[in-house]
Amino acid sequence: MQEITCVFPSVFALTHGQAYTVLERRLDGSVRLRGDNGRIRWFPASLFTPGVVKVPAMLRWRFENDDEAPSACEDVQIEFDDGTWRWCTLATADHLGRLVLTQGGAFWSPQLVVVSSLAPETVEAALRKLDSEGDLLEATVPVAPADFETVFRALVGRPLQAVLAEVYVDEGVLDEDPPGTIWLEFEGCNPVGLHGHGDGEGLELAGSLPGPIEIEDVGEWVVRDVSRHTDLAPAIGLVLQRVMILEGCGLAPGEILGVRLDFGDGIAPVIYHWDDELEVSDEPELELSDDFPVQERLLG
């Protein structure tokens, strides 16, 4: 039986971030499972993402300018249990009404959350509500964009738990072509996604886990657990000891060809993007072509 995780606001006796076991599927994609109230019923598949996925949850928050008493409009920073920080702007309805008058009758802003007041207890309740309903990530943005090396540096010392991949399925048959995106699940972290650079070579960080992407009359891209079906399989359950960044002379400054993950005992698979294909290999030395030498740099 397949496990799926609720990733949308809880409206059908479901809990945001909770994993559920699929008992049955319909052709329209809906799933039958037991909800939090103990009843078995059908749910829209759009409420879930495949697999058991850790959904970041809010730990605490703070005013960005916490040295001053809060006014009617303040930025807040929020820490999540995956170690990330995000921010949004809180404002009262009265403040927005006054702002509209000073802005010629119209005003808009992304990452804006309207609250009745900026009293700490009100802010706490508002953010907890958004978090429990699955809206807090959508209502906030990262405090600082994570760069490739910072993300992988934070994974050292953590065990690899699972490998997910975005693969193409046509009429229920899994395509044998390389995946579009790979996500690495390390203990205590949100999945780290990797996909290819748009120009054919180079590796980039990908976004969060998506739902199925249907291609009309052809098939769909879905996320599957491939932990035991790639050269990363021997690393499942092992602690990441060090990371090597793969670079090539043909790439633009700052671009990365791939990454080698060293788990010790000779287990050091490499993930790279070359010739428009995302690949995973257990080769100890990566050789792509005579005119494109690959260099490995230890991530300090």
The pLDDT tens digits of the residues spanning 185-206 come to: 999 887 888 988 765 678 888 8
Nearest to 90 by CA among 135, 133, 140: 140
**Which range has the worst mean pLDDT, 193-202, 206-215, 254-263?**
206-215
Q: Sign of the CA dihedral 20, 24, 30, 34?
A: negative
- CA 77 from centre of chain: 19
| Residues 36 and 172 placed together within one structural domain of the fold | no
Kindly tell me if the per-residue pLDDT of 218 is higher than 60.
Answer: no
210 plus 194 within the same structural domain: yes
Same domain, 39 and 62: no
Of residues 254 and 126, more confidence is placed in: 126
> Would you say how long the chain is, in residues?
300
Over residues 52-61, the mean pLDDT reads 86
CB 164 within 8 A of CB 54: no
Question: What integer pLDDT is reported at residue 10 of this predicted model?
Answer: 56
Same domain, 39 and 21: yes
| Separation of alpha carbons 91 and 118, rounded Å | 8
Question: How much is the mean pLDDT over the chain?
Answer: 83
Average confidence (pLDDT) over 219-229: 79
Dist. CA 42–CA 33, nearest whole Å:
7
Averaged over 10-18, what is the pLDDT?
77
Among residues 104, 120, 142, which one ends one of the domains?
142
pLDDT at 143: 75
**Are 191 and 278 part of one and the same domain?**
yes
If asked whether residues 208 and 246 sit together in one domain, one would say: yes
Query: Which pTM does this prediction carry?
Result: 0.53
Cβ contacts of residue 253 below 8 Å, gap of 6+?
Answer: none
Whether residues 43 and 62 fall in one domain: no
Strand, helix or coil at 298? Answer: strand
**292 and 158 in one domain?**
yes
DSSP tag of 129: H
Indicate if 87 and 154 belong to the same structural domain.
no
The mean pLDDT of 142-163, rounded to a whole number, is 85
Residue 75 sits in the same domain as residue 202? no
Per-residue pLDDT, 135? 86
Using the 3D structure, point to which of 142, 176, 194 is the last residue of a domain: 142
**Which residues, in sequence order, are CB contacts of 145 under 8 Å at separation 6+?**
none
Split into its structural domains, the chain has a count of: 3
Distance in angstroms (rounded) separating the CA atoms of residues 195 and 201 = 10
Among the candidates 142, 159, 190, a domain finishes at 142
Helices (H) and strands (E) in the chain, counts: 3, 23
The CATH number linked to 16 is: 2.30.30
User: Do 154 and 129 share a structural domain?
Assistant: no
Residue 44 shares a structural domain with residue 83: no
Instruction: Specify the pLDDT at position 249.
Output: 65
Which domain range does residue 110 map to? 58-142
Tokens describing residue 63? 């005013």
